[in-house]
Chain A
Amino acid sequence: MSPAEYDFLRQFLKTRSGLVLSNEKQYLIESRLLPVARKAGLASIAALVSKLRDPRETLLADAVVEAMTTNESFFFRDKVPFDHFNQLMLPQMLERRSARRQLRIWCAAASTGQEPYSIAMCLKEMGPKLAGWRVEIIGTDISNEVLDRAKAGVYTQFEVQRGLPIQNLLKYFTQTGDQWTISAELRSMVQWRKFNLLDSFASLGQFDIVFCRNVLIYFDQPTKADILNRIGKAMAPDGYMVLGAAETVVGLSDAFKPVADRRGLYAPTAGMATGSATAAAPRFAAGSAF
Chain B
Amino acid sequence: MKNCLVVDDSSVIRKVARRILEDLSFTITEAEDGQQALDCCQQQMPDAILLDWNMPVMDGLEFLSQLRKLDGGDAPKVVFCTTENDVSHIAKAIRAGANEYIMKPFDREIVEAKFQEVGLI
A75-105 CB contacts (< 8 Å) to partner B:
79
* A158 and B110 within 8 A (CB): yes
* A170 and B91 within 8 A (CB): yes
Chain A contacts of B102 at CB under 8 A? 161
Q: Among B10-18, B43-51, B52-60, B113-121, which stretch is in contact with chain A?
A: B113-121
Q: How far is the CA of A136 from the CA of B100 in the complex (A)?
A: 31
* B110 and A166 within 8 A (CB): no
Shortest Cβ distance from B80 into A: residue: A166
Given the interface pairs A157-B85, A157-B103, A161-B103, the reply to whether A169 lies near B113 with Cβ below 8 Å is: no
The size class of the interface chain B forms with chain A is 10 to 19
Shortest Cβ distance from A173 into B: residue: B87
* A165 and B103 within 8 A (CB): no
* A79 and B103 within 8 A (CB): no
Chain B contacts of A158 at CB under 8 A? 107, 110
Query: Residue A163 contacts which of B85, B91, B113 (CB distance < 8 angstroms)?
Result: B113
Chain B contacts of A170 at CB under 8 A? 87, 90-91, 94
Chain B contacts of A175 at CB under 8 A? 86-87
Shortest Cβ distance from B104 into A: residue: A157
Shortest Cβ distance from A174 into B: residue: B87
B82 to chain A, nearest CB (A): 12
* B101 and A166 within 8 A (CB): yes
Shortest Cβ distance from B79 into A: residue: A166
- Asked if A23 CB lies within 8 Å of chain B CBs, one says no
- Asked if A32 CB lies within 8 Å of chain B CBs, one says no
Chain A contacts of B101 at CB under 8 A? 166
Q: How far is the CA of A74 from the CA of B109 in the complex (A)?
A: 11
* B90 and A169 within 8 A (CB): yes
Given the interface pairs A158-B110, A161-B102, the reply to whether A178 lies near B94 with Cβ below 8 Å is: no
A236 to chain B, nearest CB (A): 33
- Asked if A58 CB lies within 8 Å of chain B CBs, one says no
Q: How far is the CA of A138 from the CA of B76 in the complex (A)?
A: 41
Q: How far is the CA of A163 from the CA of B100 in the complex (A)?
A: 11
* B116 and A166 within 8 A (CB): no
Chain B contacts of A178 at CB under 8 A? 85
* B113 and A162 within 8 A (CB): yes
Given the interface pairs A167-B94, A170-B91, A170-B94, the reply to whether A161 lies near B114 with Cβ below 8 Å is: yes
* A161 and B94 within 8 A (CB): no
* A161 and B110 within 8 A (CB): yes
Chain A contacts of B85 at CB under 8 A? 157, 178
Q: How far is the CA of A178 from the CA of B87 in the complex (A)?
A: 11
* A161 and B106 within 8 A (CB): yes
Chain B contacts of A79 at CB under 8 A? 116
Chain B contacts of A174 at CB under 8 A? 87
Query: Residue A166 contacts which of B86, B90, B107 (CB distance < 8 angstroms)?
Result: B90
B59-92 CB contacts (< 8 Å) to partner A:
85-87, 90-91
Question: What 11 additional pairs, Cβ within 8 angstroms, besides A79-B116, A162-B109, A170-B90?
Answer: A158-B110, A161-B102, A161-B103, A162-B110, A163-B113, A165-B100, A165-B117, A166-B94, A166-B101, A166-B117, A169-B90
Q: Which 5 A-B pairs rank lowest in CB-CB distance, beginning with the nearest?
A: A166-B101, A161-B110, A162-B113, A166-B100, A175-B87
A-B contact pairs, 6 of them (CB 8 A): A79-B116, A163-B117, A166-B90, A170-B87, A170-B90, A170-B91
